[in-house]
Amino acid sequence: MSDVIKAETIYDAMGAVLTRWTMGSPAAPAASFWRAELGDDAVEAELRLLALSGQFLGTALTMEPSSSLRILPDIPALALPTVPETLRPLVRRILTTKKQGKVKTDLVHFLAARGWTMHPADWMPQADDDDAPDLYAGWRDWAAIAASDSAARRQTDDRLSAENWDDFWPAARKVALVELRRRDPSAARAVLEAKLAGETADTRWRLLSLLTERLSDEDLAFLEDVAANDRAPKVKALATSLLARLGRGPAAGEDTAELAGFFAVKTKGLLRRSRVVQAEPLKTAAQSLRRKALFDDADLTSFADALGLAPQELIAAWDWNTDQTADAALVDLIVATGADAQVSQAADAVSEHDATGLIISLAARLAPAERARHAEAALNARGIVSSWRN
């Protein structure tokens, strides 16, 4: 009993000892229970106290966790192998020297495209890391488990449905929904119709964006309901842009007519007369800002209607490389609200006119074969591929 009392006495005094040392004052006077061990020499007493207190704090005390410990499941194995050990130091150097998040994301995607994954000791995605390749869904869900109050692993082997929605962790659910959308678009939409409203605004936006896969007129009723009734403006805006891709954008209104006023539809050529859409010169910075704001709220079909053209006619008649800011705004409008065929047409047009950098903005909406074709064409135009092959 005396040993327990003495240990508690020493522990209670450690606060005063450490405080005195922090302030630069001798601490031996605060350790009277060790008076015999410390001796009478002041300098020697401080050294002995340092040794005794270090031993006491390091061996006689056991830190207890603030809450009960949980046993986490093993980090799941991914479908692809990890980077070879010989390359891991290079990967780590890239991660440590490149602080920008996009560079790290590009590295992860680069490796995944070539059949490799990161080693978990070098990099792990966060639970909300939506930029990570779907390959890492298991690791994202593991991070969600680690951050949650429960370590229970949910079953994710079944096909996703409204009934087993809650059996999937978020990242695995997204992957399953993408796969279901590719296989059976109507079934995926039915699952979203049943479960979307119960998610947060950010999650609703991410899940709704998955409808871009095999988007069709069968999605119209659901998208119209979301555009009219969702609580979050950004979700309503996404639904509106998807409707515009299906040719169901809002009718041209005053703002669209004002936007069209920044452009003129003219004719060119003597024998074979054709139309060209030219940007009117901007006279002030305020006009430039206003035109940008109008583009942000417009859709391709309504803009073309206001100019008296069909969307495909607008793209064909656009005067590329005359006003690069207008070029970029139109491409953004096509990416957000254009149909797949219009995106492909725009990609061909910007490649033909060598409109600087715009093909990159369109790339996300292009099929892989189209992306590869345009990339090769751009490299060939600058002699890069031919030089490399030679």
Per residue in 121-155, pLDDT (tens digit) is 999 999 989 889 999 999 999 998 888 876 555 65
Question: Do 371 and 260 sit in the same domain of this protein?
Answer: yes
pLDDT at 154: 60
Radius of gyration, alpha carbons of the chain? 32
Q: 260 pLDDT exceeds 50?
A: yes
d(CA 249, CA 311): 12
Percent of the chain with pLDDT over 90: 56
Q: Is residue 208 part of a domain?
A: yes
Return the amino acid letter for 218. E
pLDDT at 387: 46
Q: Could you tell me which residue, 321 or 386, shows the higher pLDDT?
A: 321
How many Cα neighbours within 13 Å face the side chain of 262?
Answer: 24
Query: Is 117 within 8 Å of 80 (Cβ atoms)?
Result: yes
How many Cα neighbours within 13 Å face the side chain of 259?
Answer: 26
Q: 2 pLDDT exceeds 50?
A: no
Question: Do 259 and 369 sit in the same domain of this protein?
Answer: yes
pLDDT at 390: 46
Question: Do 337 and 379 sit in the same domain of this protein?
Answer: yes
Per residue in 76-96, pLDDT (tens digit) is 999 999 999 999 999 999 888
Q: Is residue 96 part of a domain?
A: no
Angle among Cα 164, 168, 173 to the nearest 5 degrees reads 105
Last residue of a domain, one of 23, 43, 60: 60
Q: Could you tell me which residue, 389 or 232, shows the higher pLDDT?
A: 232
Distance of CA 90 to the CA centre of its chain: 24
Tell me the residue range of the domain where 8 lies.
2-60
Q: Is residue 305 part of a domain?
A: yes
**Residue-wise burial string across 234-264, b where 16 or more C-beta atoms lie within 10 A, e elsewhere:** ebbbbbbbbbbbbebbbebeeebeebbebbe
Question: Do 312 and 203 sit in the same domain of this protein?
Answer: no
Tell me the whole-structure pTM to 2 decimals. Answer: 0.69
Q: Is residue 265 part of a domain?
A: yes
Last residue of a domain, one of 245, 268, 283: 245
Q: Is residue 87 part of a domain?
A: no
Nearest CA among 30, 76, 81 for reference residue 53: 30
Q: 317 pLDDT exceeds 90?
A: yes
Length of the chain: 390
DSSP code, position 117:
B
pLDDT at 153: 52
**Residue-wise burial string across 75-86, b where 16 or more C-beta atoms lie within 10 A, e elsewhere:** eeebeeebbeee
Query: Is 197 within 8 Å of 166 (Cβ atoms)?
Result: no
Q: How confident is the model at residue 375 (pLDDT cuts 50, 70, 90)?
A: confident
Q: How confident is the model at residue 1 (pLDDT cuts 50, 70, 90)?
A: very low
Angle among Cα 360, 365, 369 to the nearest 5 degrees reads 85
Question: Do 305 and 378 sit in the same domain of this protein?
Answer: yes
Question: Do 276 and 241 sit in the same domain of this protein?
Answer: no
Percent of the chain with pLDDT over 70: 90
Question: Do 328 and 231 sit in the same domain of this protein?
Answer: no
Helix (H, G, I), strand (E, B) or coil at 156: coil
Per residue in 289-316, pLDDT (tens digit) is 999 999 998 999 999 999 999 999 999 9
How many Cα neighbours within 13 Å face the side chain of 307?
Answer: 28
| Residue matched to tokens 């920044």 | 262
Give the count of domains, the chain.
3
Query: To 10 degrees, what angle do helices 340-352 and 368-381 make?
Result: 10
Per residue in 324-371, pLDDT (tens digit) is 999 999 999 999 999 999 999 999 999 988 776 788 899 989 988 998
